[in-house]
Structure 1
Amino acid sequence: MRLVRFFLALLLLAIAAVAINRAAIPNHNTAVTHFDTIIVLGYPANPDGTPSPDERERVLEAVRQYKAGIAPAIIMTGGAAHNRFVEAHVMAAFAISQGIPAEAITEERQAQNTIQNIFYSSEIMRSHQWHSAEVISSSAHLGRAAMILQAFPKSHPGLAFDWRTHPASWPAEYSLIRRAFTDSLEASRCLQIRIFGFPKSRFLPKG
């Protein structure tokens, strides 16, 4: 019985640590409410090349924000990371179908993960002399994205920019169990990053 209580206490402690860490992650580094661009973080397309549920909701939120005048441009970021379809292109085509002008969209086609999404998007921003961005992703994913954004100026001060994160809606077809599992997994990854740091790479050197 004592052993059961001990492991239950450890489990509760772990849950508390994950929750506290998630709550401590900032969702912005600026007070501005209008930005030079919107960055939409990539997600794999369906096997047939159509937008997957998460990908669809991220783009739809970007469409809403663009039409609300939050920013005059959109960067779609993501390469063919998990199948043969370039995430940025799938997202851009869907955004255009929703009424976004093609000239307002820049496709970043190289990134293979979230760290690279931020790195390559910031290079695009520098080339356009853009200094601020609203970063859109699935709500569960935004904690990790914010940690990357927070760490980015330390590794690449020349590519730093003002930012805030903004969540897309959960896909309607996702069950509460799937949402809870996804959210818990991402929150755990955030705590892991807090303890061990990011994997060292040229995109975000560990430090």
Structure 2
Amino acid sequence: MPTIKRFVLAGLMLLSSWFVLHSAVVTIDGFTDDVQPVDCLVVLGNTVNSDGSLSARLQARLDKSLELYQQGVSPLILVSGGLGKEGHYEGTAMQRYLVAQGVPVQAILVDNKGDNTQATARNYAHIARQRHLRSALVVSQFFHLSRTKLLLRKQSVPVVHAAHATYYEWRDAYALFREFFAYYAYLLG
């Protein structure tokens, strides 16, 4: 019996260490912006409030993409999200916000079927093949970037970079915890 207890304890310690190391790598990767000229910025959606306004988290993502667009990092911005439970298509709301900030409508690609990260990666890869785009720069929260880059690479997008939105809240700790499981689910899936 003591041998089983030691084995279980060692397994839990190993899993805990793996989790801490993975979370540290994801955090460092997420805070290390890799801004390079690309064919398209890929902005992942988030909550659009019931009144049609953007959540602070989503607005931060769009503000970062706007900053990069204005710096000339990319001539195109893909805004991707699904139909939220609040009744708004995230991609359309994101497009509306960017147009109000001066981005020409023809510079914005709208993906209203990107209701999760995997769908966004798949949809961007499809658009990229149609338009002969070879690179992307992902914009999202820091904890989300490693997994998104993984998914885009799995969809054969040859060059993927990332930059994080500067918005933080307590729920990021939960999101970082969740990313551990999501990352490996997509890596192995």
Paired amino acid for 2:48: A
Alignment map for 1:8-19 (pairs within 5 Å): 11-19=12-20
Paired amino acid for 2:15: A
- Give the whole-Å Cα distance in 2 for the aligned partners of 1:55 and 1:45: 8
Paired amino acid for 1:166: A
State the TM-score, normalized to the length of structure 1.
0.74
Alignment map for 1:98-137 (pairs within 5 Å): 98-137=101-140
Structure-2 change in CA distance of 1:24 and 1:109 (3 Å): closer
2:118–2:151 CA contact under 8 A, matched in 1 = yes
| 2:178 paired residue number | 185
Q: Does 1:170 align with 2:167?
A: yes
Question: CA offset at residue 7 of structure 1?
Answer: 7.3
Task: Deviation per CA, 1:91-128: give whole Å up to 9, x if none.
Answer: 11111222222221111122221111111122222222
Question: CA offset at residue 66 of structure 1?
Answer: 0.6
Report the aligned-residue RMSD: 2.8
Alignment map for 1:1-207 (pairs within 5 Å): 11-22=12-23, 23=25, 33-153=36-156, 160-171=157-168, 174-175=169-170, 178-194=171-187, 197-198=188-189
1:140–1:182 CA contact under 8 A, matched in 2 = yes
- Give the whole-Å Cα distance in 1 for the aligned partners of 2:70 and 2:128: 20
Structure-2 change in CA distance of 1:125 and 1:112 (3 Å): same
Q: Which runs of 5+ in 2 are unaligned?
A: none
- Give the whole-Å Cα distance in 2 for the aligned partners of 1:11 and 1:78: 37
Identify which range, 71-80 or 10-19, moves more after superposition: 10-19
Paired-residue identity, %: 25
SS in 1 for 2:78: strand
- Give the whole-Å Cα distance in 2 for the aligned partners of 1:86 and 1:6: 50
Question: CA offset at residue 14 of structure 1?
Answer: 2.3
Structure-2 change in CA distance of 1:193 and 1:13 (3 Å): farther
Task: Deviation per CA, 1:154-199: give whole Å up to 9, x if none.
Answer: xxxxxx332112211124xx23xx22222222233224444xx23x
